[in-house]
Amino acid sequence: MDAETLSLSLELVSGSGPGLSAEQCAALRASLPLLHRDLRLRRLRLWGVVLGLRGDYVIARGWGGPDLLRGQLSFYSLNCVDWCLLPPATDAHIAQTQGIKGRFVGDPAHEYEYIVRNTAGGGDSALEEELTTHIKEEVRLTGTIAMIDREAAVAPRGAYIRNPLGQVIVNHSFRGLEVSEGKKLSSYFHFTPSLNPKKKSLLEKAALDPSIDFLDSLEHDIPRGSWSLQLEQGDSVLILRSLLWLGMTFYHVPLTPLHGHLYIGTGERNLDLPFMI
């Protein structure tokens, strides 16, 4: 959600429960513009909150370049005033953080013990080595944010376009989804570079627009039913909640360009989802 429309956006996602307190909200409105200015960012958004045992990480997401899918910078703050830059997420980070269980502590310097199983050799003679490595919570945070972005960041269809230079930019003529469109999962896209695009038949491709349909839609997500789409607040807001990352809420007011997503959760993936639906 954009820093400028923070209060409105928080009101729209209020159906999910935990949010930001008035003090945090006010502090963010003072500190985010300064961060925006100091780092010469083009765009800055509040990404969400990762709840820890002793403290909460408030996460902001900034873009230095015009492309909204690349070159993202993540910042965290424990008090909504002082911001620290997170290291860019690499695949190694993400792989490492997958193995860590349990809640975030709330201390970026906290070290997790983490056991790597190396299998040397092949076949039956494989030797299992157990190496204990340490990971800082900061790194885990980076990896988790990247994972959440990869699996649960959402944009409505048409809100972003890919221009001839290949950059993904905001579509200024996006007027919002209609309610009938908004009730279909096919109108929402994963807002992340598509890693393994689904091969579509010619018939399916016929209705697509290459400048709009460059992302994967949520329609074919596995397991089926991993999204909860509802109309809330007197059916005036479309709310899309991820069941895989409980706490991720996407909102969109139909027929307006207002949309965004906010994650307020424990930073743990809901691995039990297949048993729950």
CB of 93 to another protein, least distance (A): 22
Which of residues 123 and 234 has its CB atom nearest to another protein in the complex? 234
CB of 103 to another protein, least distance (A): 5
Residue type (1 letter), 44: L
Which of residues 18 and 197 has its CB atom nearest to another protein in the complex? 18
Q: How many CA atoms lie within 13 A of 134 on its CB side?
A: 4
Task: Please check whether residue 257 is in contact with residue 158, taking contact to mean a CB–CB distance below 8 angstroms.
Answer: no
Task: Please check whether residue 245 is in contact with residue 152, taking contact to mean a CB–CB distance below 8 angstroms.
Answer: yes
β-strands 227-232, 237-242 pairing? antiparallel
Which of residues 56 and 216 has its CB atom nearest to another protein in the complex? 56
Q: Compute φ and ψ for 133, nearest 5 degrees.
A: -120, 165
Bridge partner residues of 118 (DSSP): 129
CB of 96 to another protein, least distance (A): 18
Whose tokens are 């703050």? That residue is 77
Which of residues 53 and 92 has its CB atom nearest to another protein in the complex? 53
Which of residues 73 and 266 has its CB atom nearest to another protein in the complex? 266
CB of 102 to another protein, least distance (A): 5
Select from 100, 142, 138 the least CA-distant residue to 269: 100
Select from 27, 146, 23, 114 the least CA-distant residue to 77: 27
CB of 46 to another protein, least distance (A): 14
Beta-carbon contacts of residue 144 (< 8 Å; ≥ 6 apart): 50, 97, 267
CB of 189 to another protein, least distance (A): 18
Which of residues 32 and 89 has its CB atom nearest to another protein in the complex? 32
Select from 48, 44, 47, 45 the least CA-distant residue to 19: 48
Which of residues 198 and 220 has its CB atom nearest to another protein in the complex? 220
CB of 23 to another protein, least distance (A): 5
CB of 121 to another protein, least distance (A): 30
Binding positions for another protein, rule: CB under 8 A = 10-11, 13-24, 51, 53-54, 79, 101-103, 171-173, 179, 225, 228, 230-231, 233-236, 241, 243, 246, 265-266, 271-272, 275-277
3-state secondary structure of 167: coil
Residue type (1 letter), 140: R
Whose tokens are 């958004």? That residue is 45
Task: Please check whether residue 204 is in contact with residue 220, taking contact to mean a CB–CB distance below 8 angstroms.
Answer: no
Which of residues 21 and 196 has its CB atom nearest to another protein in the complex? 21
Whose tokens are 């990404």? That residue is 47
